[in-house]
Amino acid sequence: MQIYSQKDVKKAALKGARIAILGYGSQGRAHALNLKDSGFDVVVGVRKSGASWGNAKKDGLAVAEPAEAVKGAALIAFLTPDLTQKDLYKDVIGNIAKGTTILFAHGFNVHFGLIKPRKDLDVVLIAPKGPGGLVRRQYEQGRGVPCLLAVYQDATRKAKDNALAYAHGIGGTRGGVLKTTFAEETETDLFGEQVVLCGGTTELVVKGFETLVEAGYQPEVAYYEVLHELKLIVDLLHEGGLAKMHKFISETAKYGDLTRGPRIVNKGTKKEMKKVLKEIQDGKFARQWMSENKSGRKKYNKLMNQDLKHKIEKVGVKLRDRMPWLQENA
């Protein structure tokens, strides 16, 4: 394991260089503003016809169409959604000079071969382990969100130095920058989303809610027990791992955790997790997702509609309306 900090950043890396940020969503805005506040010459590349153009200008940033923004930039960060990056790369590659560093915050397109970078470019990854809003807030508070760093292609022998300077500029070296690979970042990120953070957690919550409601308990009570209180446990885990969670929950909760938890998430669950991981590793998930998007997202839209119409959401909307403070950091 190798973790870089502020002392590992080379002062000469990216000094006086222009950085082009392509995209002005959650990560794009945070990166652009943090880099600007760190003293870098930043230009945001977005379409003039979109809302992001005006938003970036209001934030005091230089703005240009993507193909113009990349001209003369020493580092270009592709921070648009995964599904748009392949076409964006095609649109701007003709204006990217030899020896430029191109940077991604997620390795999806490069790892699965949707983007095949020119051989004369440095290709790096800086992936903050948190959403853009948090990346910005932590920076403003003098802290930083940890990042992952990977080098896919090192044409100039300066790829790592430039990537680390970029990570430093967005505040990442304050939290630590862990060395990885495009493959490891991409595959573990997708696995985490599908099996634990999004897919696994939401399905566990929904099935727990359904079990209680079907047994005759009030939906509102079920909501509080399986969804609302989840944050309290996640916060404990986030702050101090299993040890802190066990320290702050009751003895009864601990006993239930240790004896009943393995009955829910068991060998069969882990077997299915391994299947999901294999589908990520061999590219099956990426191919399915690209195909689904190309065909109009019929299955995706159907499943999303089912999710948002579930009873837990209807109950949740009413209960959350009584707690407006939940939206303070939205």
Q: How far apart are CA 233 and CA 201, in angstroms?
A: 13
166 close to 14: Cβ distance less than 8 angstroms:
yes
**What is the model's pTM?**
0.93
The 8 Å CB, 24+ separation contacts for 208-217 are: 209/311, 209/312, 213/311
Q: How far apart are CA 236 and CA 249, in angstroms?
A: 9
| Phi, psi torsion values for 24, nearest 5 degrees | -135, 45
Domain boundaries, the chain: 3-180, 197-265+297-326
**Residue 326: what pLDDT?**
86
Q: Which two tokens stand for residue 5?
A: 């900090």
Indicate if 228 belongs to the active site.
Answer: no
Q: List, in sequence order, every residue forming a beta bridge with 43; answer none if it has no partner.
A: 20, 62
Residue among 24, 86, 28, 126 at smallest CA distance from 289: 86
29 close to 55: Cβ distance less than 8 angstroms:
yes
Q: Which two tokens stand for residue 139?
A: 């920076």
For the chain, the first-to-last Cα distance in angstroms comes to: 34
Q: How far apart are CA 244 and CA 254, in angstroms?
A: 12
- Inter-helix orientation angle 132-140/26-37, to 10°: 20
Residue ranges at the known binding site: 24-27, 47, 52, 132, 189, 193, 225, 229, 250
Residue ranges at the known binding site for substrate: 250
Q: Under CATH, which architecture does the 3-180 domain have?
A: 3-Layer(aba) Sandwich (3.40)
Q: How far apart are CA 135 and CA 54, in angstroms?
A: 22
Q: What is the mean pLDDT of each run of 10 residues along the chain (330 residues)?
A: 96 94 97 98 96 96 98 98 97 98 98 98 97 96 97 98 98 97 98 97 98 98 97 96 96 97 97 98 97 96 96 95 80
Catalytic residue among 31, 106, 111, 168: 106
**Residue 330: what pLDDT?**
53
| Phi, psi torsion values for 153, nearest 5 degrees | -145, 130
Q: The tokens 């940077």 sit on which residue?
A: 103
Q: How far apart are CA 204 and CA 211, in angstroms?
A: 11
Residue ranges at the known binding site for NADP(+): 24-27, 47, 52, 132
